[in-house]
Structure 1
Amino acid sequence: MSNMYTRLINQQHPLPEGYIPEHLVDIGIPFDALPGDSKRLLEMKTARAALRLISASQRDGLSLYGVSGYRSYSRQKQLCTGSPYVAAPGTSEHQSGLALDLSCPAVRMELVEEFAHTPEGIWLARNASLFGFILRYPKGKEDITGVPYEPWHIRYVTKPLATYLTLTGLTLEEYHQLPQHRKSDNPIQ
């Protein structure tokens, strides 16, 4: 997959049904899932960045836990119930191995908006880009992303792009609409 880390994955830009990322690993981050569960898997570079992110949060006295990482096309198909929080098969970033849902004990490891107001959620919003992640579905951008606000869903896009998107407030959809990106001469990639 060319430019895998900056690739836009959504309703208009789905992954192929048979797409499985290379180098999926369980790097051992704290997870609200048993060992051996495929949702503990992440693409290798993403997993390393997630480990650095969670280790830094622990040094700050916080308790971030992975809830869902990789999800196969067939698993996404099973989960797709028509909820706006569950993407259709092929349109979920979880299939790429580049996305991770995080939570904390203060919200019972649930994926809820209240997570944004916990010390862990506040820390994540402030620090995700330092590790190459963006909060993929920000508040106020639902009309652009087509997904409700999800303060728990982070996506690995590399440090330079994460920094750029965080500083500008752009979503990945808006970034892909920039004229210089369409010309493929963007230095961020």
Structure 2
Amino acid sequence: MTGAVAGLVLSLGMIAPPVTAVASAGYDLDTASSLQVVVNKHRQLNPTGYVPGSLVAVQGERLRAQAADAYKQFARAAKSAGVNILPISGYRSFSQQASLYDSYVRQYGQATADTLAARPGYSEHQTGLAMDIGNASGTCALQACFANTPAGKWAATHGWEYGFIIRYPTGAEGTTGYTYEPWHMRYVGRAVAQDMKDTGIAALEDYFGLEKAPDYL
């Protein structure tokens, strides 16, 4: 969907084009290795145990090559502007996600855990395209108040320039199924990230015309 078309859709109050219209323009939303793959509570990774073919180290974390290159550019630009950003969590395997999810279930119960972490096989981190970030000082780490920190503001303002979106935006819990995570950056490529910014569409599900995914099927 181009910015002009999406803008017209929004201004006229029309329903966004179905996912097939977007996919036919060259976006693959289903294949795990695609840069635009959409993973949520209705869309399990295929294959479930997917492991990216190329993972690049980023200060102790790992991302797919394209996402890693973009992240490094993003972090360098931030540092040049006086903002130090720390990568907290990048690629996580199926087993690592299972361990994390189980720990949340034990701590909070399953209902709450499902709003905080993905079940194994349903995590963006397993794609190698997601990075949780933080301030070097540790301020507001993995908390909503991160949005008001220098790193949080930089990510929200400049992430799109490098192909990243804030994957779980505020007010979109009924669409994404997760609480607001201003620290969770997802690489989707510069064209999609810029178009989402230009059209004001915050949730990836809404941008691609997918159904809302607040709960597991």
- Asked whether the two chains share a fold, i.e. TM above 0.5, the reply is yes
Matches of residues 73-88 of structure 1 in structure 2 within 5 Å?
73-80=94-101, 81=105, 82=110, 83=113, 84-88=115-119
Structure 1 stretches lacking a partner, 5+ long: 30-34, 179-189
Number of the residue aligned with 2:144: 113
Structure with the greater alpha carbon radius of gyration: 2
Number of the residue aligned with 1:32: none
State the percentage of identical aligned residues.
39
Number of the residue aligned with 2:24: none
Q: Please say if 1:162 is aligned against 2:193.
A: yes
Q: Equivalent residue of 1:4, what SS?
A: coil
- Which of 30, 34, 39 aligns to 1:4? It is 34
User: CA 1:135 to 1:110, structure 2 compared with 1: closer, same or farther past 3 Å?
Assistant: same
8 Å CA contact 1:76, 1:87 repeated in 2: yes
Cα distance, 1:114 vs. partner? 1.2
C-alpha distance in 1 between matches for 2:163 and 2:87:
16
- Which residue identity does 1:79 align to in structure 2? L
Q: Equivalent residue of 2:178, what SS?
A: coil
C-alpha distance in 1 between matches for 2:145 and 2:198:
24
Q: Please say if 1:177 is aligned against 2:209.
A: yes
C-alpha distance in 1 between matches for 2:43 and 2:150:
34
8 Å CA contact 2:84, 2:135 repeated in 1: yes
Number of the residue aligned with 2:66: 45
TM-score (norm 2): 0.73
Q: Equivalent residue of 2:53, what SS?
A: coil
C-alpha distance in 2 between matches for 1:73 and 1:17:
8
Higher RCO, 1 vs 2 (CA within 8 Å, ≥6 residues apart): 2
Encode CA deviations 1:95-138: one digit per residue, 9 max, x unaligned.
00000000003444721111100122111100000000000000
User: CA 1:2 to 1:152, structure 2 compared with 1: closer, same or farther past 3 Å?
Assistant: closer
Number of aligned residues? 168
8 Å CA contact 2:165, 2:188 repeated in 1: yes
Q: Equivalent residue of 1:61, what SS?
A: coil
TM-score (norm 1): 0.84
Cα distance, 1:54 vs. partner? 0.2
Structure 1 segments of 4 or more deviating over 3 A? 105-109
